[in-house]
Structure 1
Amino acid sequence: MKKLTYLFGLLGLMGLIFISSCSDDDDGGSTAAPSVTAPAITSVQVGQSVDLSFSVTTPGGYKSSSVSQSSGSATVSTEPAAGATSGTVVVSYTAGTSAGAATVTLTVTDNADQTGSQNGTVNVSDSPVPTISGIPATASIVGGNTLEVTAELAAEDGIATFTVVIDGTTTAIDSTFTGSPTSANVPVAYPTSLVTATTTAEIVFTVTDGDGDDVSFTHTLTIEPPSEVELASSRLGLAEYPGFDAATNTLTMIKGITYILDGFVFVNYGQTLVIQEGVVIKGLPGQGSGASALIVARGGTIEANGTADEPIIMTGVADNLQGSVLNESNALWGGLIILGTATNNECNGGVCGTNIEGLPADTEPRGIFGYGDTEILGPNGELVDENGADYATIPTGGQEVTFTEDAADDSGVLNYVSVRHGGSIIGDNNEINGITFGAVGTGTEVEFIEVWSNLDDGIEFFGGTVNLKYVVLGYIGDDFIDYDLGYDGHIQYALAYQKASTSVSSDPNFGEHDGGSSPDDATPFGSPIFSHITYYGADADGLQALVFYRDNAGGEIWNSIFHNADGQILIEDRSGEDSYERFLAGQPGGDNDNRIFISNNLFSDISVGGVDLANINDVFGAVDGNDLNDVPASTTAIQGAFGPINAIGAPDFGTTGTSIFVPSQAGDAATGGADASAVDPFFDNVTFRGAFDPAATTNWIDGWTKTAEVIQ
């Protein structure tokens, strides 16, 4: 069919698409006048009808609309609700009997009688124009999902092009059609992002025929925030999950959305997990390979930045955070595991091949920690099952990585993170700790973290050098702080709070301090320094020991309080290499780096076998292996070294709420603290003992910890 000559002048009218709004706002209204945005030029055949969608903004509240046209007829068919501040006005336009360019003018009036208008242009053709069908005018979708529609196109003059414009950005779908077909069905997929508030996207579909006639159809998509997003275990790590940014290899967990972990969810090598303040992460229940946990593999990064007002909470799905589970409930899910390449004696002199505790060693090679090994990774940092299915060559987009020792290994940030009700059982003597650090280095920032009601240990370190400040451990089933394999970091300001009924293991300790493992004399021995810890026990708490040094472990405890607990600080003395060797190494003139040293600590209401200790020397002892009834003669030397530099006293704790952990300014803990910053600049120089400043007006555990909530 022939085109009329008016089309040659149509280009001069193209500027009418978005003519500036003409407003009658001389009435001095305090709000802005309405603004109107016209749709793109569309085409219609003589005598036929087409809908035009005008976007309107009415700060003064929508009142009414009117329409005029240069030819044909037009009526308002759809308009916003009265008082709305934005929306869409749909004008139904019917072309007249003559071809040409028609102008349709929409005028909008607000509640202050201010007006705004805009001109839209319609190309009226004497030949049939293309049509678009199969797409609804509106739809709603939950963010993170994909809108999928099929555009049904028809054009007697043959389809030339089809374009999709999403919020002003053109997306090529199938811009050319071989052979100019008269009909085509084109699938369109629009992936949406996770959102925290309802938002909309405008999608404009335009088809053009062989004679240059075009028709546009506007679809308005409403995107709703999801209440939950489930993350299933994946070899690709974060890459399969909604919201993953492939350009930066980053997934951001958004405040207002609850994330459900179904299985072992990994942050693979090269990937970053960003967790916004206030995010809640919940793990599904399960044991063995069916457990759920969040694992940051070597080379992955976690950026968990909560605040005191909006902490990041990790818990089980049964916990609605409103008391749906008992305070003592544990093993509702796994826990948090972070792996790095920092110093540890498992790797010393050889290649690491050890999976971290809490992960099945035979099926999950991403659980390896440490250094000295070379791995072939897929394009998303994935390792595969080592049982005969490893990559033999580097896959497309993959790489070969050699993991090297880095004491300053940076696995990211944990700030104001509370991990609750964890500890799924993987196998015999293999449970998931609340938080596990496997060879994590000093480049990792960890401050204000809590583990609450975990079946196994609160925090366990497998080597590494990571430093921690402001740590809360409550209702722990086994050891509150456990370290192995040469851990050599620092901890300042920590609370270990026990309730008797929550000691569920056969040998719980406030601290289980282990050194090497096969052999015990592997170096480095492990010599972390703890300062300003409050170990707060309960009657009949079932502790094996306050702190138990074993397997050639060293370590130092300064400026701390041990209160209301049954047990001693024990140092293993057996034939061969043992922790007693670390004690001897640290005696005057000895090794300051791999020693046991306990100084400036206050002991209050400590008993052994139900008998209160009145002599500070009795707090310390040696033990042959794990037989607490076998007391070697070396006990005398240990008591002679540590008795004079520690004390039995009365912290004079408060009596209500979290003040029960805070000493009185007149109590024995208010003074006597040594300057730990002289040992390492990581430490603050404060003169009180224990985790809490007697002179502080607020308690740093209030407002964000489960511990504070329970104590209140």
Structure 2
Amino acid sequence: MKLFQSLRYLMLAVAAVLFVASCNNDDSPAPVVTVTGVNPTSGPVGSDITIAGTEFGSDTTGVKVTFTGGARAKLKSVAPTAIVATVPSGAKDGPITVQIGTKAAVTSAASFTLGNKSVVEVAGDITANTTWEASKVYLIKGFVYVKDGVTLTIQPGTIIKGATKDQDPAKTDKGGTLIVQPGGKLMAEGTASQPIVFTSSKPAGSRNYGDWGGVVLIGKAPTNRPGATNFEGGITGTTGTYNVPTDNSGSLKYVRIEFGGIALSNTANSEINGLTLYGVGSGTTLDHIQVSYSGDDSYEWFGGTVNAKYLVAYRGWDDDWDTDWGFSGKVQFAVSLRDPEVADQSTSNGFESDNFDPGTPATDANNGLPLTGAVFANVSNFVFSTAPSTANTPKGSGAYGRGMHLRRNTSISIFNSLLVGYPEGLRLDGTTTLANATANNMQLRGIVVANTLTPLAIAGGVTQEQVTTFFSTAAFMNSIVTLADLGTLKLNAKNFDLTAPAFTIGTDSPLLKGAVWTDKGADSFFTKVDYRGAFNATENWVSGWTNFDPQNTNYDK
């Protein structure tokens, strides 16, 4: 009996312990393995990839990385959130599977594509003359600087990819950006059949605005800013006190820059554009360049004297042609095609031209000189083919603004150009800007403003009568075309087609004549054509080297 009671007490005690233990169990599930990304998403056998995720541990024992087709990868390192593995022989296109010990295997959402070009990662400074070959793909990580006295040469047909912020080796959240410092040179001369392409490191179908930084040239031509002015976007260094108008930062010919233009923070002026030019001199060549899906401005000139011909701004986020800090170069033949559903919170403009913000303070070391006095000719900008909207765009962060926003004492001149589908055509902003116009220093000639809600707008003390008198001067040959009369311009039927546009105009278009040239266009740089806008009826200069579907292009083979 006593034995029975002892056993009974023991069983009750065990039951009590088990009950307490069960009450203390929080039923939290064990951590699971996840795969959140693969980078790069393509490469040849023998190249390295990084698999991002969670709960990988830190020991290679028991870790299996298997490619589609059943080939096992050789592991180089394992960390809790990253596995570095080598693409094995026998790998095929498709997702990658990761198994950690006895835990359930996890397959990547993204597919890996077997490429036939090796991937070369580039980070830090380029300190010796270097050539990038078309037989390889180059992946720029973080800010890459071409140093003073160094030339980076890129062969025709080469693909360069910009890495995302999270791949910055310095852990500073900077997207891959190629920066040519004063005294350095970038020789990127493609051909019509073999353009050089800077693009996103993401796979086809998942690329987006601002995936990486962009291309930045910094030269020794004059700007109107003091010598210790910071560059935008966190770029190392400040402006110098250079005064070399003919400075040479290299040559860009038949070059595409896609999905760059990154916002580095929410702070104003923290962006990098698709192509950014600081004090770039006239010895530099810019010819046949397409900037697509830029997350900020497509092109921005900060001072300098560089000239350019045959530029394309395609589906940018903010402005197309932004001129500041005393830019005094020349540009001819440029076209912009915008997505009506994407604009920036600052309002997206075709031309945005400043001398600098906040104008011309008397205390400035340069007294605001040289004034922004660039000369553009034969530009065509297209946004809305229907009535323009002033509402915030459904896929962007803001609304569209003006075809030309000329402000802050700018003295830019624009000739023989066509601006279609903006809420406002010209906004003349500020009495100093007006003074430059009335003094005949800022010239607008042969301009066609079409399909706008407000063709001529004002700000900064300018009156409606003043802007109307200036723009409508008979000798200037400017004109306003309503939406109802847009068809009279005889634009191409595919002019506004976002995936396969065509820009040559009808043989009976009134745009084929009426060009105006003054002393501002007397320079031999300009081809003195008779037509207005970037195209005539026969010369399609975007043919062969541009790409209007970079989202779906396979750059890995």
Q: Structures share a fold, TM > 0.5?
A: yes
Q: Does 1:623 align with 2:459?
A: yes
Q: 1:676/1:596 Cα in 2 relative to 1: closer, same or farther (>3 Å)?
A: closer
For residue 508 of structure 2, give the secondary structure of its aligned residue in structure 1. Answer: coil
Q: Which residue does 1:460 correspond to in 2?
A: 300
Q: Does 1:694 align with 2:537?
A: yes
For residue 312 of structure 2, give the secondary structure of its aligned residue in structure 1. Answer: strand
For residue 532 of structure 2, give the secondary structure of its aligned residue in structure 1. Answer: coil
Any conservation in 1 of the 2:326–2:373 contact (CA below 8 Å)? yes
* Residue number among 233, 245, 262 corresponding to 1:358 in the alignment: 233
Any conservation in 2 of the 1:566–1:606 contact (CA below 8 Å)? yes
**C-alpha separation in 1, matches of 2:550 and 2:296:** 22
Instruction: Give CA-to-partner distance per residue, 1:242-300, whole Å, 9 cap, x none.
Output: xxxxxxx3110000211001100110001000001111111111176432200000000
Q: Does 1:520 align with 2:408?
A: no
For residue 582 of structure 1, give the secondary structure of its aligned residue in structure 2. Answer: helix
Matches within 5 A, 1:49-448: 227-232=118-123, 234=124, 237-239=125-127, 249-286=128-165, 289-319=173-203, 323-325=204-206, 329-347=208-226, 352-360=227-235, 364-365=236-237, 368-369=238-239, 371-372=240-241, 404-427=242-265, 428-429=267-268, 430-448=270-288
Q: Which residue does 1:685 correspond to in 2?
A: 528
**C-alpha separation in 2, matches of 1:673 and 1:624:** 30
* Residue number among 511, 519, 522 corresponding to 1:669 in the alignment: 511
Instruction: Give CA-to-partner distance per residue, 1:609-641, whole Å, 9 cap, x none.
Output: xxxxxxxxxx3333127xxxx856533443443
Deviation at 1:664, TM superposition (A): 0.9
Q: Which residue does 1:605 correspond to in 2?
A: 451
**C-alpha separation in 2, matches of 1:299 and 1:434:** 21
Any conservation in 1 of the 2:402–2:422 contact (CA below 8 Å)? no
Any conservation in 2 of the 1:675–1:686 contact (CA below 8 Å)? no
Any conservation in 2 of the 1:531–1:676 contact (CA below 8 Å)? no
For residue 526 of structure 2, give the secondary structure of its aligned residue in structure 1. Answer: coil
For residue 669 of structure 1, give the secondary structure of its aligned residue in structure 2. Answer: helix
* Larger of the two Rg values belongs to structure: 1
TM-score, normalisation: structure 2: 0.68
For residue 443 of structure 2, give the secondary structure of its aligned residue in structure 1. Answer: strand
For residue 438 of structure 2, give the secondary structure of its aligned residue in structure 1. Answer: helix
Q: 1:268/1:562 Cα in 2 relative to 1: closer, same or farther (>3 Å)?
A: same
How many percent identity over aligned positions? 27
Q: 1:545/1:643 Cα in 2 relative to 1: closer, same or farther (>3 Å)?
A: farther
Q: Which residue does 2:478 correspond to in 1?
A: 646
Q: 1:408/1:523 Cα in 2 relative to 1: closer, same or farther (>3 Å)?
A: same
Any conservation in 2 of the 1:346–1:517 contact (CA below 8 Å)? no
Deviation at 1:702, TM superposition (A): 2.1
Q: 1:260/1:709 Cα in 2 relative to 1: closer, same or farther (>3 Å)?
A: closer
Any conservation in 1 of the 2:292–2:316 contact (CA below 8 Å)? yes
Which range moved further: 513-522 or 550-559? 513-522
Q: Which residue identity does 2:478 align to in structure 1? A: N
- The Cα RMSD (Å) is 2.7
More strand by share: 1
**C-alpha separation in 2, matches of 1:301 and 1:556:** 29
Any conservation in 1 of the 2:303–2:372 contact (CA below 8 Å)? yes
Q: Which residue identity does 1:671 align to in structure 2? A: K
Any conservation in 2 of the 1:512–1:547 contact (CA below 8 Å)? yes
**C-alpha separation in 1, matches of 2:528 and 2:195:** 27
Instruction: Give CA-to-partner distance per residue, 1:459-510, whole Å, 9 cap, x none.
Output: 0011001001000001111111111110001110000111112213332110
Q: 1:644/1:276 Cα in 2 relative to 1: closer, same or farther (>3 Å)?
A: closer
Instruction: Give CA-to-partner distance per residue, 1:403-437, whole Å, 9 cap, x none.
Output: x4100110000001111111222231211100000
Q: 1:490/1:701 Cα in 2 relative to 1: closer, same or farther (>3 Å)?
A: same
For residue 313 of structure 2, give the secondary structure of its aligned residue in structure 1. Answer: strand
**C-alpha separation in 2, matches of 1:439 and 1:532:** 24
Q: 1:355/1:654 Cα in 2 relative to 1: closer, same or farther (>3 Å)?
A: same
TM-score, normalisation: structure 1: 0.54
For residue 346 of structure 1, give the secondary structure of its aligned residue in structure 2. Answer: coil
Q: Which residue identity does 1:603 align to in structure 2? A: V
Any conservation in 1 of the 2:477–2:514 contact (CA below 8 Å)? no
**C-alpha separation in 2, matches of 1:433 and 1:550:** 20
Q: Which residue identity does 2:535 align to in structure 1? A: F
Any conservation in 1 of the 2:402–2:425 contact (CA below 8 Å)? yes
Deviation at 1:226, TM superposition (A): 5.7
Instruction: Give CA-to-partner distance per residue, 1:358-382, whole Å, 9 cap, x none.
Output: 225xxx22xx33x33xxxxxxxxxx
Q: Which residue identity does 2:429 align to in structure 1? A: E
Any stretches of 5+ residues in structure 2 without a counterpart?
1-44, 48-115, 167-171, 362-367, 394-398, 482-487
Deviation at 1:443, TM superposition (A): 0.3
For residue 580 of structure 1, give the secondary structure of its aligned residue in structure 2. Answer: helix
**C-alpha separation in 2, matches of 1:471 and 1:710:** 20
Deviation at 1:689, TM superposition (A): 1.3
Aligned residues: 407
Q: Which residue does 1:475 correspond to in 2?
A: 315
Any conservation in 2 of the 1:653–1:664 contact (CA below 8 Å)? yes
For residue 683 of structure 1, give the secondary structure of its aligned residue in structure 2. Answer: coil
For residue 551 of structure 1, give the secondary structure of its aligned residue in structure 2. Answer: coil
Any conservation in 1 of the 2:139–2:160 contact (CA below 8 Å)? yes
* Residue number among 542, 553, 577 corresponding to 2:410 in the alignment: 553
Any conservation in 1 of the 2:331–2:376 contact (CA below 8 Å)? yes
Structure of greater relative contact order (alpha carbons < 8 Å, 6+ residues apart): 2
Deviation at 1:642, TM superposition (A): 7.0
Any conservation in 2 of the 1:653–1:659 contact (CA below 8 Å)? no
Q: 1:315/1:275 Cα in 2 relative to 1: closer, same or farther (>3 Å)?
A: same
Any conservation in 2 of the 1:562–1:606 contact (CA below 8 Å)? no
Q: Which residue identity does 1:259 align to in structure 2? A: Y
Any conservation in 1 of the 2:425–2:449 contact (CA below 8 Å)? no
Q: 1:694/1:672 Cα in 2 relative to 1: closer, same or farther (>3 Å)?
A: same
Q: Which residue does 2:437 correspond to in 1?
A: 583
Q: Which residue identity does 1:324 align to in structure 2? A: G
Instruction: Give CA-to-partner distance per residue, 1:333-354, whole Å, 9 cap, x none.
Output: 011000001011114xxxx112
Any conservation in 2 of the 1:676–1:683 contact (CA below 8 Å)? no
Instruction: Give CA-to-partner distance per residue, 1:308-333, whole Å, 9 cap, x none.
Output: 111111111104xxx4235xx20100
Q: Does 1:704 align with 2:545?
A: yes
**C-alpha separation in 1, matches of 2:351 and 2:312:** 14
Q: Which residue identity does 2:119 align to in structure 1? A: E
Any stretches of 5+ residues in structure 1 without a counterpart?
1-140, 144-224, 240-248, 373-403, 587-594, 609-618
Any conservation in 1 of the 2:223–2:326 contact (CA below 8 Å)? yes
For residue 554 of structure 1, give the secondary structure of its aligned residue in structure 2. Answer: coil
Q: Which residue does 1:655 correspond to in 2?
A: 493
**C-alpha separation in 2, matches of 1:296 and 1:318:** 24
Matches within 5 A, 1:14-29: none
Q: Which residue identity does 1:505 align to in structure 2? A: Q
* Residue number among 421, 439, 455 corresponding to 1:564 in the alignment: 421
